[in-house]
Amino acid sequence: MEFTTLGRTGLRVSVAGLGCGGFSRLGLTAGLGESHAIGIIRAALDAGVNIIDTASVYGTEDVVGKALQGISRDKVIVCTKASKPAGDKSFSVDAIVQSLEESLKRLGLDYVDVFQLHAVPPAAYPFVRDEIAPALLREREKGKFRFLGITETAPNDHEQLTVGQAAQDGIWDTAMLAFHLMDQVARTAVFPHSLANNIGTLMMFAVRSIFARPQQLSDTMKDLAAAGLVPPELATRDNPLDFLIHDGGADSVTDAAYRYVRHEPGANVVLFGTGSIDHLRTNIASILKPPLPADDLAKLRTLFGHLRGVGLEAPPPRG
C-alpha cells in the first residue's frame, strides 16, 4: 500500500480508501448480509487500507463498528457524515449534533477521525459554514471528532461551487468531491484552492456506474455526441474509451478510471466501494499502478475537459 498525508490534518492515510456507501454498500444492497460486509472491511484492512468512509445515511456504521472490534484504534482512520434529514428543508444544528452522537454509538467509538457535513448544496453552504460548523467545532472540543470535513452533492452541483468555496474558507480540514475521466471540473474549480490551503481531499465517483457498465458508457457517449459535446466517432464504438487500453496503458476502463484520479495533483485518497473481495483487490491494484501515459491524459482532457455533470448519478434510495 502507498500512503499520503491528508492535507493539514497530518493524518497518514492509504491512497486507497474504502467507501461504505454508493451502490454496493459492502454488499448489503445485494442482500449479502452483515458477515459478508464485515469480511470486506477486514480484507481491506489486511490489504493495507487504513481509511474507511461511512455515513449515517448509508446504514453501514453498525457493520463498520463490528468489523473494527479488536483492532487498535490508532490503526484505522474512521470518517463518517451527517446529512440533512430527508424531508427537512434545511440543515439543523440540533439534528446534526444528534446525528454525530448516534454515529458514535453505532460505530462503538469514543470519537471519529473526520466528521463531515454531507451533500451540502451551494444554497445551504452559507448557513452550514456560519451556524453548523461553529456548533460542531464546539463538539470537537469535547473530543467527539478530530477533524471537520464537508462533502458536495455532486449530482446537483456540477460546477462544484460548495467545495470550491469551502476550500477557501479556513474552516474545513477535508473535502470530499467528485472527479473522474469525464468530469474534470475540480481541476480548476477546487484543486487550486485545496492545494493552496492544504485541504485534504477524498475523491468519490472515480468509477461509479458509468465506467463499470459498458452499456451505460456507450449510451452516454451517444447522447453526448448527439448534443455535439464529443466527437461523433465516439458514439460508433461499443467501447468508446478503448483508446485507453493498450500496451503501456490501462488494462480496462475501470483500471484507467482509478489511475486517472489517483495521480491527479490535488487528489489525496481515492474512495472505492465494493460488495466483493475479489473486486476490492482489483480496485486497490489499479489505484496503486503508475499514472496513465501522457498522451492518453492529454486526449482525455481534450475530449472531455469541458463536460459537466456526466456520470454523477446518485445511488438509489435506501430502504
Collapsed DSSP state (helix, strand, coil) of residue 299:
helix
% of the chain at pLDDT higher than 90: 90
Give the residue, 32 or 189, on which the prediction is more confident.
189
Query: Is the model's pTM score more than 0.85?
Result: yes
Give the residue, 318 or 6, on which the prediction is more confident.
6
Over 70: is that where the pLDDT of 10 sits?
yes
Q: Which domains does the chain have, with CATH numbers?
A: 3-7+11-212+258-298 (3.20.20.100)
Q: What is the pLDDT of residue 28?
A: 87
The C-alpha cell that represents 225 in the structure block? 455526441
The band of 30, judged by pLDDT with boundaries at 50, 70 and 90, is confident
| DSSP bridge pairs for 176 | 151, 202
DSSP per-residue letters across 15-60: SEEEE--TTTGGGTTTT--HHHHHHHHHHHHHTT--EEE--GGGT-
Q: Which of 58, 125, 258, 260 is catalytic?
A: 58
The band of 185, judged by pLDDT with boundaries at 50, 70 and 90, is very high
pLDDT tens digits, 199-208: 999 999 999 8
DSSP per-residue letters across 250-297: BSSHHHHHHHHHHTSTT--EEEE--S-HHHHHHHHHHHTSPPPPHHHH
| Mean pLDDT across the chain | 95
Over 80: is that where the pLDDT of 69 sits?
yes
Q: What is the pLDDT of residue 316?
A: 63
Q: What is the pLDDT of residue 313?
A: 84
The yes-or-no answer on residue 58 being catalytic is yes
Q: What is the pLDDT of residue 318?
A: 55
The band of 209, judged by pLDDT with boundaries at 50, 70 and 90, is confident
pLDDT tens digits, 76-111: 999 999 998 777 777 899 999 999 999 999 999 999
The band of 319, judged by pLDDT with boundaries at 50, 70 and 90, is very low
Collapsed DSSP state (helix, strand, coil) of residue 64:
helix
Buried b (16+ CB within 10 A) or exposed e, 25-51: bbbbbeebeeebbbbbbebbbebebbb
Give the residue, 11 or 212, on which the prediction is more confident.
11
